[in-house]
Amino acid sequence: MSLKPCPILINGNWSVPETAETSPVHNPSTGEVIAEVPHCGADVVDAAVNAAADAFEGWWQTPPIGRVRVLMRYCALLEENFESLAAMIVVEHGKTITEARGDLRRGIEVAEYACGITDMLKGEVLENVARGIDCSMVRQPIGVCVGICPYNFPALVPMWMYPMAIACGNSFILKPSEKVPLTGIRLIELFEEAGLPPGVFSVVHGGKECVDALLEHPKVAAISFVGSSAVAEQIHRKGTANGKRVQAAGGAKNFVVVMPDADVGQAVEGLTDAAFGCSGQRCMAGSTAVTVGAAADTFIPAIVDSARSLPVGPTHQSTTAKLGGMTTAAQRDRVAGLIQAGVDEGCDLLVDGRGVKVEEFPNGFYLGASVLDRVQEGMRVFDEEVFGPVLNVMRMDDVETAIEMAGRVAYGNGACIYTQNGRIAREFRHRVKAGMVGVNVGVPAPLAYFPFSGWDYSFFGDLHLQGRESVMFYTRAKVFTERWFAPGEGDVWHKDD
């Protein structure tokens, strides 16, 4: 079959470079290869960075309202092309159409938020810091910014980065995941259509060689990364060693505590989405349910029934499937191996999603929902981020023990509690060690106006993605101290001296 090309973008020109290495893009529902991605080397990265550096000089001088007008046209084009973009996410990622629409909608909300940059870039002024001397501060863009993205949210994660970077006056280089590049390419085509000048945006593809070249290039000012914690730590270390500003979001182990007084229906609905939505391939997945006391008696049978009822199927053809294929066969096999590790270490496998078959597409990367009960600290499924449709269940006697257990985990993305007791909820949200906390919600991911606030091994850097922290990340402060003299005032120099 004819494969869809994956071009790069440099200085306004799309092209497909000849590279020594390529990698396939699959339709997870069928297993077929739908595109080939070129792996760019240092020479291509150098050309992209130099073009971005040249374009930056003109773009940052564009008045903020002019940049906003481009963004507003971009938002309109995203809405006009919303369904075709969502369908593209379904085909290359495997999400359901509902999940794909959510992926895209959350990304658009960041672009909409970026349209308010004229207010967010306002500086500060203080008159008479000393007699006749005024002090003021403005924020200016930092230059060439880079976004290195994972495969799990083809629209949202890139749009966490580039709308705010470009609104602040920077140029931007996107390296989408080589597993799901098609959505990112189309998003940038629409940005060009909105009137973004050539060179302000570049697109490159590849693996380690490409990433290393971006991290080492002297003209790159900032790196934004989302991916596993192990890689995030490496990106942060190498980027900062090369003088870059770096924000690197990593993985997670997110706990959802279910109290005995919780509304079981709400808890099951929330955990079903949190654990199995997007096939569990998200860093905010509610991957571990912690039942407190008698909550286990009602919650566990109900979540088992819910997991068993989730239909698996080809999301590019079906609107009834709740779980599609996992994005890659390798990830499906890894998750299946972790399920077996849980069984081997003594867990009770209440629902087994391995071996699920979709007759019309036997080569799809399918894995059904799974539930492992009686998970304990120290097991592989407890220690590792599973990143698949697997719910771990732990049983504890009291909420204090649950809070203490969560505090021992290296990660710190999200934590939630289901309860009708305000005092317990307040104590939990105050004390639990996580940057994003939910009460009676399964996924506490914030909207565009707040930072995506991971802690500890879930984030490396100082300033987070999203919200006003992104403005601070993509700009730097310049402070003016000014004094103006009247003619002859303070003139102590004499020509006869």
Integer angstrom CA distances of residue 277 from 74, 185, 406: 29, 25, 22
Asked whether the CA dihedral 311, 95, 225, 461 is positive or negative, the reply is: negative
Gap between the Cα atoms of 249 and 472, Å rounded: 17
Whether residue 307 contacts residue 370, with contact meaning beta carbons closer than 8 Å, is answered with yes
pLDDT at 209: 96
Gap between the Cα atoms of 182 and 103, Å rounded: 14
pLDDT at 20: 85
R_g (Cα) of the chain, nearest Å: 25
| 107 dihedral zone (left: phi>0; alpha: psi -120 to 50; beta) | alpha
- Angle among Cα 187, 188, 193 to the nearest 5 degrees reads 100
- Angle among Cα 297, 269, 351 to the nearest 5 degrees reads 60
Structural domains for the chain? 4-250+458-481 (3.40.605.10), 255-439 (3.40.309.10)
Integer angstrom CA distances of residue 130 from 133, 142, 334, 482, 492: 5, 30, 65, 10, 20
Provide the β-strand partners of residue 165: none
Gap between the Cα atoms of 457 and 384, Å rounded: 12
Active site residues: 283
DSSP state of 343: H
pLDDT in tens, the chain (497 residues): 457 789 999 999 999 998 889 999 999 999 999 999 999 999 999 999 999 999 999 999 999 999 999 999 999 999 999 999 999 999 999 999 999 999 999 999 999 999 999 999 999 999 999 999 999 999 999 999 999 999 999 999 999 999 999 999 999 999 999 999 999 999 999 999 999 999 999 999 999 999 999 999 999 999 999 999 999 999 999 999 999 999 999 999 999 999 999 999 999 999 999 999 999 999 999 999 999 999 999 999 999 999 999 999 999 987 889 999 999 999 999 999 999 999 999 999 999 999 899 999 999 999 999 999 999 999 999 999 999 999 999 999 999 999 999 999 999 999 999 999 999 999 999 999 999 999 999 999 999 999 999 999 999 999 999 999 999 999 999 999 999 998 877 666 555 55
Integer angstrom CA distances of residue 440 from 76, 106, 292, 437: 34, 21, 15, 10
pLDDT at 489: 77
pLDDT at 355: 85
Gap between the Cα atoms of 469 and 230, Å rounded: 23
pLDDT at 353: 96
- Smallest CA-to-CA distance from 90 within 319, 361, 357 is with 319
Locus of tokens 């971005």: 52
% of the chain at pLDDT higher than 90 = 95
Gap between the Cα atoms of 441 and 425, Å rounded: 12
Asked whether the CA dihedral 424, 430, 434, 436 is positive or negative, the reply is: positive
| 189 dihedral zone (left: phi>0; alpha: psi -120 to 50; beta) | alpha
